[in-house]
Amino acid sequence: MTQKAAMVVGSGGREHALAWALARSPQVKQVYVVPGNAGTEWPANPKASGLQPRAAAKNVAITTADLPALVALARREEIDLTVVGPEAPLAAGIVDMFQAAGLTVFGPTCESVQLEASKAFAKDFMRQYHIPTGDYAVFDDYRAASNYLDQVEYQVVIKADGLAAGKGVLMCDNVAEAQAALRKVMVERAFGKSGQKVVIEERLNGPEISILAWSDGYTVVPIIPARDHKRVFDNDQGPNTGGMGAYAPAPDISPEFIESVRQTILQPTLDGMAERGCPYMGVLYAGLMITEDGPKVLEFNCRYGDPETQAVLPLLETDLFEISQACVETRLDQIEVKWRPGACATLVMASPGYPDSYPQGLPVSGLDKAATLEETVVFHAGTARTKAGVVTAGGRVLAVSAVGDDLATALNRAYAGVARIDFEGAHFRRDIGLTYR
């Protein structure tokens, strides 16, 4: 039974959490992480208890862009299941390529990835299938877009159409700001080719929530709701980042709300993709704003969130390998997904200067001390191993996750973990989950 080999594509905190969860599956013997980081290698531990992984994990030094090498690796190591973390290899068609090679892979095909890779595609799709989202218009001509801004009635957000690592969304308070944002995207090409087309969107107000869900193309199972903290500084100040911390489940999100999101947003999205002949298998991530008129979609992502994944997987009681297999084999309706009661909090420790430029190679200390803490897992993100030990190698360096019977306990434990770890200039937010502490 415990003979399966799993592979995780990517190198961040999300991928560490995915590898960790797969290594807890009773079916899995070995996890490969490609290319992984300093945290994604560990020996098998048959006596694992609590939050410890049991199966071994090891890194393979192949970049996520080298799809033929990934296919060759999956064949050579007889990988039973590959889970893809980041959007770039998904948009490059990794799932299509693995499927064509007869390999089992979890993630949407490149046609379905358009939901994330093209904001114009996503908006037109939502309009066609009556999925609630803000008003919008799409332009590939700068003059026409600029004229539109002069006459549009609502406050706008300007979005570069293509992938822009979460940075291609510009919030505008007035027409002058909107014109400047439009120039930045379409004329100065601040986001390169991603700015060939823009979406000009109605600016919405309200609290945000990410609802992620597993999908086998036809059945959708929502994951417990996680709330990310995108701004770099406390009190939501400073520029947007990939995410500075998260907690799950978000106490203000009721099961009824999630059910309504399933019915009005997630299921219609699956049905629409199936109707178009490209059933959506993988994780569907809906970034929502809860407006006075109900939840509206801000964006779709076609993958697990980072750091949301690090906050939800420690609470997952059902075998992630089994859930992923069920998605691939179109039998998700037969799986009962169970969550541990309580809450999980995740705190990101970032390099000084992130999300702008930052130093690398700073020695990280205290990881051993944090590892002994109760109900705590330290997920690595931007780290590398050198002869001298673990050093920083990215903007987001670590994600410290802790579980507790309630959110306050989980947060206290996670902060205790962060307090034991250090690197020069380490930055973390002190107000993650503050409303609920």
Cis omega (within 30 of 0) on the bond before 295? no
- Nearest-angstrom CA–CA distance, 55 and 33: 13
Q: Which does 134 bind (CB under 5 to 8 A by kind): ligand AMP, ligand GLY, none?
A: ligand AMP
Q: Does 80 sit near ligand GLY (CB under 6 A)?
A: no
Q: Does 305 sit near ligand GLY (CB under 6 A)?
A: yes
Give the orientation angle of helix 175-182 with respect to helix 142-151, to 10 degrees: 170
Tally: H helices and E strands in the chain: 14, 22
- Nearest-angstrom CA–CA distance, 156 and 170: 9
Q: Which does 243 bind (CB under 5 to 8 A by kind): ligand GLY, ligand AMP, none?
A: ligand GLY
Q: Does 308 sit near ligand GLY (CB under 6 A)?
A: yes
Instruction: Name the residue nearer to ligand AMP (CB basis): 167 or 385.
Output: 167
Instruction: Name the residue nearer to ligand GLY (CB basis): 86 or 134.
Output: 86
Q: Which two tokens stand for residue 431?
A: 């107000």
Type of residue at 306: D
- Nearest-angstrom CA–CA distance, 56 and 77: 14
Instruction: Name the residue nearer to ligand AMP (CB basis): 223 or 377.
Output: 223
Q: Does 401 sit near ligand GLY (CB under 6 A)?
A: no
Q: Which two tokens stand for residue 43?
A: 């020996």
Rounded to a whole number of angstroms, the distance between the first and last alpha carbons of the chain is 42
Residues binding ligand GLY: what is the number (CB under 6 A)? 7
Q: Which does 157 bind (CB under 5 to 8 A by kind): ligand AMP, ligand GLY, none?
A: ligand AMP
Q: Which does 298 bind (CB under 5 to 8 A by kind): ligand GLY, ligand AMP, none?
A: ligand AMP
**Which region among 133-141, 247-255, 300-308, 380-388 touches ligand GLY (by CB under 6 A)?**
300-308
Q: Which residue is nearest to ligand AMP (CB)?
A: 299
Where on the chain is the footprint of ligand AMP (CB under 6 A)?
Answer: 134, 157, 166, 169, 201-204, 208, 230, 287, 298-299
Residue pair 105/82 in contact by the 8 Å Cβ criterion:
yes
Please give the helix or strand (H or E) that residue 240 lies within, else none: strand 237-240
Using CB under 6 A as the criterion, which residues of the chain lie in contact with ligand GLY when the complex forms?
228, 242-243, 301, 305-306, 308
